[in-house]
Structure 1
Amino acid sequence: MEETLLTSSAAGVYVICPTPFEGDGRLDMASTDRMVEAYLEAGATGLTILGIMGEAPKLAADESQAFVRQVMKAVAGRVPVIVGVSAAGFAAMSALSVKAIDAGAAGVMIAPPSMLRTDDQIVSYYADAVEAIGTDVPFVIQDYPLTTNVVMTPKVIMRIIEQNPSCVMLKHEDWPGLDKITTLRRASDKGEVRRVSILCGNGGLFLPFEMERGADGAMTGYAYPEMLVGVVNLIKQGRRKEAHDLFDRHLPLVRYETQPGVGLAVRKYVLKKRGIIAHDTLRKPGPKLSPETISEIDWLMQRIERSE
């Protein structure tokens, strides 16, 4: 199993997968298989499941485990899979981590709970989380203060990295956060902190600049993942103008998808329209798209596909 585990050299695009549901809210395993194939065909170097955009809190424990098994079966060892295991308590986190790694996952992702306030509380939380999941399980710090309300400074992130050798990646979703990437990369370049992979979220809203600041790739779920792959590859090839031109063609829909509250509904609608999933069902509570919103999304998709 060792060669399949996540390492600090991870790079590229780890697509954040939504959890497909049938019209009645049951897990849609056929769409799950189709979604995995579509993301791999788009050039994904990894997948991340049961994240915030995966509606993980709306799943029962047995459903989470069943979804992990289905994704791992569909992936069949072709790319690494990261499983979000954030939970209110360490017992649930530990149980899902064990099941995920046993199923073949490469690592787990942990977001801090919203009650953490001080730097010491944040650092202590991650130490306790590592104790719960095991020191041999590679983990990703999810830094998403817009959702968690937990602000992690670069110094706090560096403390977590240094105190926990099993920390191999930062999922960077701070906003504004470009200077945070620069600070962390300068520190690792100077040998002040161990270098870990940095993959960026926020729907890819700042992806070209994040790459130019030293990020290793993206971990987000924009409904045209081939754009994310293209931008990451073009930046790595030094083709800056082409990377930004490609990104700019998609930016109106990226922005539309990044709206708080409604973003996942928009993303699932686009994925359904592209034939990647069968239904755009969200589990309740969740928003429904108005006819006006659907018309706007359709128009944005037409503009992208004409320009392609």
Structure 2
Amino acid sequence: MAIDADSRGVFAIAPTPFHPDGAVDSASLRRLIDFYASAGVTGLTVLGQMGEAPKLAAEESLAIVRTVLERTALPVVVGVTAPGFGTMRTLAHEVMTMGAAGVMVAPPNTLRTDDQIIAYYTQAAEALGPDVPICLQDYPLSFSVQISPRVISQIVETVPSIVMLKHEDWPGLEKITAIREREAAGQRRLSILCGNGGLFLDFELERGADGAMTGYCFPELLVDMVRLTSSGRRDEAHDLFDAHLPLIRYEQQPGTGLAVRKYVMQRRGILDSAAQRRPGRELSKWERDEVDFLLGRLARRDTRARVPNP
């Protein structure tokens, strides 16, 4: 079930559940994986930024991947970004041996030129080997690396094992169009799954994205958007998206989004705790009240937002 250039749908980015003392909460993790399957997602992504991967020890990372793969038959993409290719290669080969569908690699923030970006991904693919499918994470707001459509085209033509783009440029609608136009002119196809919490998913899908790879606390909405858009039900898709937009916006606050996401998932009975591993933060009473207010308003349009009182 390896990812490839035709991968479509919703690959939900899973947060890592923790107990209040910082230990990994394996019971909540298994419940979370079951929830994603019931929500109809196409696949999962673990050990991403929102999975707090940099806070995990190597053995914890492998244990999390093992738990996820044992719990689901869905394809699983694993974040393997690391400072050096040796560490990246070791983790990638471990998770691929376990049964992962591919790996995700983000650029280091030291890259400054187009040539450096192309060289980095060429060398990363060589280190991982030709049999490891790669998802290129393009998130300039976080990594401070600007990857233009022209550079993406050069990478695609140079590195056959890069089959997917996690598109998180902002604004980025024109980038999707530019990539698809290059493909229409003969460039090899690339699967495009979009992040940013789904904030622009309504138009990203219309521009040619294949789906979402993000962790919005209502993945059912992401699944619905892909389904409705692909079937040509544009107004229905936008109406549903607009109902969720205030919560999506609130969840996208830098430095706060993961706390919001975990709090809502706790409210939904998926996670036992909204805890992050330190350094991290928890929502203030004001913030919790505001999220509860948004959930109440959303529930008028989408009954899936009806959650028990805190």
Asked whether the two chains share a fold, i.e. TM above 0.5, the reply is yes
* Counterpart residue type for residue 294 of structure 1: R
What SS does the aligned partner of 2:16 have?
Answer: coil
Q: Which moved more, 1:282-291 or 1:176-185?
A: 282-291
2:147 equivalent among 135, 138, 152: 152
**Structure 1 CA distance for aligned equivalents of residues 282 and 265 of structure 2:** 15
Q: How far apart are the structure 1 equivalents of 2:300 and 2:70?
A: 35
In structure 2, the residue matched to 1:196 is 190
TM-score (norm 1): 0.97
> What is the aligned counterpart of 1:37 among 1, 11, 34?
34
TM superposition shift of 1:69: 0.2
The whole-number CA distance in structure 2 between the counterparts of 1:102 and 1:29 is: 21
Superposition pairs for residues 268-283 of structure 1, below 5 Å? Answer: 268-283=262-277
**Hey, which bits of structure 1, 4+ residues long, moved more than 2 A?**
none
1:183 aligns with 2:178: yes
Q: 1:28 matched to which residue of 2?
A: 25
Alignment equivalent of 2:61, drawn from 52, 64, 72: 64
Inter-partner Cα distance in structure 1 for 2:127 and 2:25: 31
| 1:33-112 paired onto structure 2 within 5 Å | 33-75=30-72, 77=73, 79-112=74-107
CA shift for structure 1 position 9: 0.7
Alpha carbons 2:259, 2:282 under 8 Å: kept: yes
Partner of 2:136: 141
Aligned partner (choices 87, 101, 124) of residue 119 of structure 2: 124
Q: Read off the aligned partner of 1:178 and give its amino acid letter.
A: L
CA contact (8 A) 2:275 2:282 kept: no
- Please give the per-residue CA displacement for 1:248-269, whole angstroms capped at 9, x wherever unaligned: 0000000000000010011000
Tell me the residue number matched to 1:114: 109
CA shift for structure 1 position 306: 2.5
Shift of 1:91: 1.3
Correspondence for 1:162 among 144, 157, 182: 157
Letter aligned with residue 32 of structure 1: L
Q: What are the Cα deviations for residues 213-258 of structure 1, in whole angstroms up to 9, with x where unaligned? A: 0000000000000001001110000000000001000000000000
Give 1:303 shift.
Answer: 1.2
Amino acid aligned to 1:231: M
The 3-state SS of whatever aligns with 1:307 is coil
Fraction of identical pairs, as percent: 58
| Alpha-carbon distance, 1:139 to partner | 0.3
Amino acid at match of 1:27: V
What is the root-mean-square deviation in Å for CA atoms of aligned residues? 0.7
Q: Aligned letter for 2:31?
A: R
Gaps of 5+ in 2: 303-310
User: What is the number of residues matched between the two proteins?
Assistant: 302
Which residue, 266, 274, 295 being the options, matches 1:301?
A: 295
Q: Deviations over 1:54-96 (max 9, x none)?
A: 1000000010000000000111x2x210000011111111111
User: What's 2:9 paired with?
Assistant: 12
Structure 1: how far apart are the matches of 2:114 and 2:248?
Answer: 33
Query: What is the aligned counterpart of 1:209 among 191, 203, 207?
Result: 203
